[in-house]
Homo-oligomer: A and B are copies of this chain.
Amino acid sequence: MTTNTTNTTNTTEAPGAPGATQTPAAAETRAATAAPGNTRPPHTADGGPQDDHAYVHGYSPAEAQRLGDQADTLAELLHAGTAYPPGSRVLEAGCGVGAQTVHLLASSPGAELTAADLSADSLDQARARVAAHAPGAKVTWHHGDLHELPFPEGSFDHLFVCFVLEHLADPSAALTALRRVLRPGGTITVIEGDHGSTFFHPDSTAARETVGHLVRLQADAGGDALLGRRLHPLLADAGFRDVAVRPLTVSVDGSRPALVEGFTRRTFVAMVESVRADALAAGLTTAAAFDRGIADLHRTAEQGGTFHYTFFKAVGINP
């Protein structure tokens, strides 16, 4: 495995926002000036990092906005039940721009959090996001590859890995590398989506095909947009025990206008739309067919429409 980045670690204390007090509830409310989202590059087939531009969702401001929307809309669903005791040593592996980091800090304000990412740019954005959303929070920032973390064995009590494995060419190797830095008896929590879990009303072949193009592009980039369904065997095979995986299904209909806007439109449809140019460049579809699929996805967010997607949250223990 090769790496083209340098492992560097530093600790910063986020400055308090003048005149602002931050509560966990406030931290879960999407700020009007949402920081860019939780982006990270995928890995090549040999497990090494690629250039940032290969990240399947891109690094545009719209994509960053989308990831912020996703993290904040779903924070309660994804982070419920995840709270680490004061003083416990927690590693967020693949923190990206800190979209989940702020929610971790809100749920576990006394934990000693280390947040690691491959991208220096993303870490800079994560620092800014934490400063804005969780002023006073103390985070150790680490720049490096999660396959080659420089920490001694058993350095952490808990690992948190959210929307990371789906972008890796060899998630098993990543989990094995992560388990090395987890103490015996420590826990790992992994959250992933699964685009194959998507269904909606009105049903539409065009919309399903358009979602399929995103799955295909992510596979071409070395990832797996259908990884959620594999979490149990992945963690078990990597040596974790007592692996328990829970489905977290988001079901959106007219009774949930905040999810219609925050999840269906601004998270999911925006994510699919973001690969339009790549899907056309790859010859997967025509502009007309892609746009018909997007229009049909938008239809599911209108009167009488419904939209459904399942995330998975896995917890395992290092023997």
User: A-side interface residues toward B, CB under 8 Å?
Assistant: 194, 196-197, 199-201, 203, 226, 229-230, 232-233, 236-237, 243-247, 249, 251, 253-255, 304-306, 308, 310, 312
User: Do B244 and A255 touch across chains, with their CB atoms under 8 A apart?
Assistant: yes
Copies of this chain, tallied across the complex: 2
Note all chain B residues with C-beta closer than 8 A to A197.
Answer: 197, 199, 308
Q: Once bound together, how far apart are the Cα atoms of A245 and B251, in whole Å?
A: 8
Min CB gap A225→B, angstroms: 11
| Given A199-B197, A304-B233, A253-B247 contact (CB < 8 Å) | no
A-B contact pairs, 11 of them (CB 8 A): A197-B199, A200-B229, A201-B230, A232-B306, A233-B253, A233-B254, A233-B305, A244-B255, A245-B255, A247-B308, A249-B249
Q: When the two chains form the complex, which single residue of B226, B245, B251 contacts A246, counting CB atoms closer than 8 Å?
A: B251
Note all chain B residues with C-beta closer than 8 A to A305.
Answer: 233
Q: Once bound together, how far apart are the Cα atoms of A255 and B242, in whole Å?
A: 8
Note all chain B residues with C-beta closer than 8 A to A254.
Answer: 232-233, 236
Smallest CB-CB separation from A253: which chain B residue?
A: B232
Smallest CB-CB separation from A242: which chain B residue?
A: B255
Known: A201-B230, A232-B306. 17 other contacts (CB 8 A): A196-B203, A199-B226, A200-B229, A201-B233, A203-B226, A230-B306, A233-B253, A233-B254, A236-B254, A236-B304, A237-B304, A245-B255, A245-B306, A247-B308, A249-B249, A251-B312, A310-B310
Q: Once bound together, how far apart are the Cα atoms of A245 and B259, in whole Å?
A: 14
Min CB gap A230→B, angstroms: 5
Q: Which 9 pairs from chain A and chain B are nearest by CB?
A: A232-B253, A247-B251, A247-B249, A233-B304, A201-B229, A249-B249, A196-B199, A229-B306, A201-B230
Which of A197, A230, A243, A253 has the most chain B CB atoms closer than 10 A to its own CB?
A: A253
Smallest CB-CB separation from A305: which chain B residue?
A: B233
Q: Once bound together, how far apart are the Cα atoms of A230 and B304, in whole Å?
A: 8
| Given A196-B203, A249-B249, A255-B229 contact (CB < 8 Å) | no
Q: Once bound together, how far apart are the Cα atoms of A247 and B249, in whole Å?
A: 7
Note all chain B residues with C-beta closer than 8 A to A226.
Answer: 199, 201, 203
Which of A199, A310, A312 has the most chain B CB atoms closer than 10 A to its own CB?
A: A199
Q: Once bound together, how far apart are the Cα atoms of A305 and B229, in whole Å?
A: 9
Note all chain B residues with C-beta closer than 8 A to A244.
Answer: 255
Note all chain B residues with C-beta closer than 8 A to A199.
Answer: 194, 196-197, 226, 229
Note all chain B residues with C-beta closer than 8 A to A306.
Answer: 229-230, 232-233, 245
Min CB gap A114→B, angstroms: 29
Min CB gap A179→B, angstroms: 18
User: Do B249 and A245 touch across chains, with their CB atoms under 8 A apart?
Assistant: no
User: Do B310 and A249 touch across chains, with their CB atoms under 8 A apart?
Assistant: yes
Q: Once bound together, how far apart are the Cα atoms of A149 and B246, in whole Å?
A: 41
Note all chain B residues with C-beta closer than 8 A to A230.
Answer: 201, 306
